[in-house]
Chain A
């Protein structure tokens, strides 16, 4: 007797029970398959969007503060210019009055 041959015969492949493939396919169909996430739904993209929004808000806030500062500066300059005009007018009137009184 040849043990190799007897083992080959004893360990031949055997068919699985009937309907095996159908049961496998049914199990496959029952398992929800994970869809690959679209790039914009990846966690890293969410973080990036949150960071970008934060940066934009900060930049917007800084820009607004800068704009408000510039506007206040322009108002102060305008007020100073108006005051200077008024003072000039007053000074001219004072000079005219003092001229008349001297003459």
Chain B
């Protein structure tokens, strides 16, 4: 049986890294995929991959960037694989059945569903913008796309979300 080797970066404990970043990685996967089982499996895979690449990462910031990038890209891969099956576009996505009001817990769930129905790239951009509070330049680095594309997709996604939500909220201005 092969002898186990700990990651070589001094002072980094893998278990602490998992506990520190598990919510971030799991939530990126969950908000993009909206499937708890798949999100957990994907998050586990991301940490397994982190364990294999830990020796290549230089700082805690590098680890965080790496985890965001790998989690986002793997979640997008899963979405693309699913898209080989028929999928409902945002424009045709079913809207929340019950009317919702600002502050209503149902509003959060409705928004999550609407975000999950965005095109995959826009979905990842919105998740990284609002879950991780990243600016467009950081999102562009993580997804490997131009900043201009991030900005335009974000604006378009927000416009679509406003339209869909306005129908549910009725008169309330957003």
Contacts and interface: CB of A to CB of B under 8 A. Distances in A.
Interface of A: 1-4, 6-17, 20-21, 23-25, 27-29, 31-35
Interface in B16-43: 18-19, 22-24, 26-27, 30-31, 36, 39-40, 43
B44 interface: yes
Interface residues of B, number: 45
Contacts of A20: 22, 26, 40, 43-44
A16 B43 contact: yes
B107 A6 contact: yes
A39 B48 CA distance: 27
B18 A25 contact: yes
B97 interface: no
B3 A27 contact: no
Contacts of A24: 18, 22, 44, 47-48
Interface string B145-174: 000000000000010011001000100111
B102 interface: yes
A8 B31 CA distance: 12
B65 interface: no
